[in-house]
Amino acid sequence: MASGTLLSGGRYRARVGHGADDVLAAQRLRTGAFGTDALDRDDFDDICAHILIEDTETGQLVCCFRMLTMAGGHEVARSYSAQFYDLSALGGFQGRMVEMGRFCIDPTLNDPDILRVAWGAMTTFVDDNGIEMLFGCSSFAGTATEEYLDAFAMLKHRHLAPKRWLPRVKAPNVFRYAARLRRKPDAKKAMLRMPPLLRTYLMMGGWVSDHAVVDNQMNTLHVFTGVEIQAIPPARKKLLRGVAGSAT
């Protein structure tokens, strides 16, 4: 297997980016996927590992995300998410952590295998680095909360963070859906409006903040999302590791 490769097999290959050209390629894909006017870049790009998913037949970059590894909760304040959420409750987490951010897939493609390979690569990265908690911001497109009320009601009723880890409000503009919503969610509508990345987090036993940040700069609503690796259901963990193993 080539140096830096996390998964290789079938049509797609996942690898850890190396050098400025790989980072620039990821930034360009993010710019197109997020619809930003300027190149999507920030200071976190310099301190993260960039995971690139490429089409082995064409060499096209089809998906990317970045990983920021931390020794424990005492470092969580340096994460991207900490700009938007008060994460002091996570300060006592003892295990190694990784923040997954800027996840995107080429918007012109609609191949479910891309997401499957991305999660296989994430699993390999988590295992290789002894990670005990994976976290990040999961985004809903646009800032109109009315479109996602069933999804937010589902998050409130089934997926709120344990109190010991619950992020507190920090951003100036938030939607406190756990406090405001009284509706019973329509499960079908909720899952249809749930972003694919967040759906995968939830299937792994993930949990979310009790409020969504209204991010006008990125034109998104996002919730803090965490997954404790030891709490992933055994069947789901086996499936993810099976993806990782079958593609190597």
CA distance 208 to 151: 12
Q: How many CB atoms lie within 10 A of CB 91?
A: 12
Query: Cα separations (Å) of 113 from 6, 106, 218?
Result: 15, 13, 26
Helix (H) or strand (E) holding 49: strand 49-55
How high is the pLDDT of residue 233?
86
Q: Domain locations in the chain?
A: 5-247
Architecture per CATH, 5-247: 3-Layer(aba) Sandwich (3.40)
pTM of the model as a whole: 0.92
Helix (H) or strand (E) holding 196: helix 196-203
Residue type, 103: F
**pLDDT tens-digit profile of 136-183?**
999 999 999 999 999 999 999 999 999 999 999 999 999 999 999 999
**pLDDT tens-digit profile of 112-146?**
899 989 989 999 999 999 999 999 999 999 999 99
pLDDT of 3 above 70: no
As a whole number, mean pLDDT of residues 64-82 equals 98
CA distance 73 to 81: 13
